[in-house]
């Protein structure tokens, strides 16, 4: 064991759910450390505009919301560190978290690792990642100013990000496997861009291959209504849902559902006592920032109860 100091609680991930939980635990003088391997704020931090978070009638930029949550958690004493958690195990009732190859002990653990962008798994997707294939409009949209691009997906994210990308792209081909499944509000907004010719929708269209040369994308091969065709684009943005970040939990004994999401009870505790989960990584989560924040508060209160019970033993 390389770190013999036992922490009260370790939170894996530093998205809205964990940051909220940290606000609650640190206000209760519970020693709290968060480990984040990517960006503090999670997917919220790279979302252009959050329009449905309560209290912001004009919306709030995802990066701003994430930054404010981070500052609030740190103000109460939360320690946010960068590190990749590769394993969680229980030894003699103590939780042991492997961070960057080193073991950290804690009385309780909150897993709030969220989800990652789904992939379509076609030839060219991996080869051209970050060189024409992207999963974040706010991160990479500006690279395609006055250039044609394709967006893959038909849900809320695909439609919302397509509308955002019209700020840059000369034209967007929206490739939808079946039909548009976005909310009525977003579909109404989308119609304006269809009518203006800025976005063309291709329904019942599968994305078959992303083709390029000399490190740059030139076309995307699709099958539209059963007919193969090629569409000339300079970039492809993929928004086809989320995949839970639970790969590191293999062999831990923590129960997952059929989608790889973590099962919890009503107090957000997993089948392992003292190990909790909240936010987008939890089975039954609604994949909304507001609910992830609420679950973070619930998890924090449950962690407090768990630690109090430990102290009485």
Give the CATH number for residue 202: 3.50.50.60
Asked whether residue 234 falls in the same domain as residue 248, the answer is no
DSSP state of 263: P
Residue 121 located in a structural domain: no
For residue 300, the enclosing domain spans 3-116+242-312
Q: pLDDT band for 275, please (50, 70, 90 cuts).
A: very high
Contacts of 133 (CB under 8 A, 6+ apart): 124, 125, 210, 217, 235, 236, 237, 238
Asked if residue 125 belongs to a domain, the reply is no
* Domain annotation covers residue 127: no
Domain stops at, among 186, 207, 238: 238
Query: Is the pLDDT at 115 greater than 80, yes or no?
Result: yes
Q: In the prediction, which pLDDT does 287 show?
A: 85
Inside any domain, residue 128: no
Name the token pair of 67.
């930054």
Based on the domain organization, do 247 and 112 belong to the same domain?
yes
Provide the pLDDT for residue 4.
Answer: 62
- Of 216, 238, 260, which marks where a domain is finished? 238
219 and 266: one domain?
no
The answer to whether the beta carbons of residues 52 and 288 sit under 8 Å apart is yes
Contact 34, 18 (CB under 8 A): yes
| The predicted structure's pLDDT at residue 215 | 86
pLDDT band for 312, please (50, 70, 90 cuts).
Answer: confident
- pLDDT tens readout for residues 156-179: 999 999 999 999 999 999 999 999
Model confidence pTM above 0.85: no
Please say if the pLDDT value at position 9 is more than 80: yes
Could you tell me which residues come within 8 angstroms of residue 138 by beta carbon, excluding any fewer than 6 positions away? 46, 47, 48, 62, 63, 164
The confidence band for 2, taking pLDDT boundaries of 50, 70 and 90, is very low
Number of domains in the chain: 2
Residues 6+ apart with CB under 8 A from 276: 108, 109, 110, 111, 264, 267, 268, 269, 270, 299, 302, 303, 306
Same domain? For 247 and 231 the reply is no
Same domain as 154, residue 91: no
Domain-embedded: residue 126? no
**Quick check: 111 and 285 in contact, CB under 8 A?**
no
């Amino acid at each position: 064991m390389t770190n013999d100091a036992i922490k009260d609680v370790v939170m894996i991930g530093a998205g809205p759910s964990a940051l909220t939980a940290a606000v609650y635990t640190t206000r209760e003088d519970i020693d709290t450390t968060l480990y984040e391997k990517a960006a503090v704020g999670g997917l919220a931090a790279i979302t252009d505009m959050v329009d449905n978070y309560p209290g912001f009638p004009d919306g709030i930029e995802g990066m701003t919301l994430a930054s404010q949550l981070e500052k609030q958690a740190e103000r109460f004493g939360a320690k946010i560190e960068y590190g990749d958690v590769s394993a969680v195990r229980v030894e003699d009732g103590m939780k042991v978290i492997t961070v960057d190859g080193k073991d950290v002990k804690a009385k309780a653990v909150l897993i709030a690792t969220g989800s990652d962008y789904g992939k379509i798994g076609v030839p060219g997707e991996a080869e051209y990642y970050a060189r024409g294939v992207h999963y974040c409009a706010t991160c990479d949209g500006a690279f395609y100013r006055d250039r044609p691009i394709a967006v893959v997906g038909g849900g809320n994210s695909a439609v919302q990000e397509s509308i955002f990308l019209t700020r840059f792209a000369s034209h967007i081909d929206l490739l939808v496997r079946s039909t548009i499944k976005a909310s009525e509000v977003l579909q109404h907004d989308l119609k304006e861009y269809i009518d203006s010719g800025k976005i063309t929708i291709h329904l019942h269209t599968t994305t078959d291959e992303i083709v390029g040369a000399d490190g740059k994308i030139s076309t995307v091969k699709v099958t539209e209504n059963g007919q193969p065709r090629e569409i000339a684009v300079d970039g492809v943005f993929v928004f086809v849902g989320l995949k839970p970040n639970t790969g590191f939990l293999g062999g831990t004994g923590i129960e997952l559902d059929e989608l790889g999401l973590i099962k919890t009870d009503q107090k957000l505790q997993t089948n392992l006592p003292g190990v909790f989960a909240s936010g987008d990584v939890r089975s039954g989560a609604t994949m909304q920032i507001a609910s992830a924040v609420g679950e973070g508060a619930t998890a924090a209160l449950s962690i407090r109860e768990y630690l109090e019970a430990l102290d009485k033993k």
